[in-house]
Amino acid sequence: MIKVAPSILSADYLNLERDINKIEKDAEYLHIDVMDGDFVPSISYGPGWVKQIRKISDLILDVHMMVRNPERYVDEFADNGADLIGVHVEATPHIHRALQMIKNKGVKAEVVINPGTPVEAIKPVLYMVDQVLVMTVNPGFGGQKFLPETVKKIQQLNDLKKSEGYSFDIEIDGGVNNETVKTAYNAGATVAVAGSYVFNDENPSSKVQAIKDATK
């Protein structure tokens, strides 16, 4: 069964604690989308949000940095309570250093690839990561349609896990629901981010369960 990471991007910010409580018992991760208005067009929220959320949730706080040169903020996110920090290979010429900085803080390190980026671009750092995030939409907005072409990259990463003996999790993000999750899960995805599918429903925990049920 896949692990689920509801994205607060689609939650009600003025009632964030209430919305997090709704999924706290069913989900494993909480996905926090940090957008800088440069690497992606939108601006969302920063390290201060992680600090506040840490006080009210025991979920694995999964910080997805859609930020150019993320090295500038890694320490602050770690100090504020992130359990896992993801950095895009497209966002820095120093992806190895960025991942090293995350690991030096004792936080789980994740490398992220956009739909237009091949797996080859992250091969040199796969030995050092705890998780790989395969974007299944172009980052920047919730509510987009799942891109099925990205699934072959999940398969490719799963094959590398076997041939090289890696044990990283494979996360998917964008357009995930109880249907789209199936092919990704069969290809090797182990964690599913879902924003609009979960929080646009009156009963978010039932949507978390629906994703899990689809991968039983």
Tell me how far the alpha carbon of residue 73 is from its chain's centroid.
Answer: 17
Report the partner that residue 20 touches, choosing among Zn ion, ligand DX5, none (CB closer than 5 to 8 A by kind).
Answer: none
In the stretch 165-184, what mask flags binding to ligand DX5 with x, by CB under 6 A? Answer: --------xxxx--------
Contact 30, 60 (CB under 8 A): yes
| 130 carries an active-site annotation | no
| Cα–Cα distance measured from residue 159 to residue 66, given in angstroms and rounded to the nearest whole number | 27
- Please state the closest distance from residue 64 (CB atom) to ligand DX5, in A: 5
Q: Is residue 33 part of the contact set for ligand DX5 (CB under 6 A)?
A: yes
Residue closer to ligand DX5, measured from CB, 168 or 197:
197
Q: Is residue 62 part of the contact set for Zn ion (CB under 5 A)?
A: no
CB proximity list for 201: less than 8 A, separation 6 or greater: 207
| HSE (side-chain half, CA atoms, 13 Å) at 209 | 10
Annotated binding site: 7, 31, 33, 64, 140-143, 173-175, 195-196
| 79 carries an active-site annotation | no
Site of interaction with ligand DX5 (CB under 6 A): 7, 9-10, 31, 33, 64, 137, 139-144, 173-176, 193-197
Which residue numbers are catalytic?
A: 33, 173
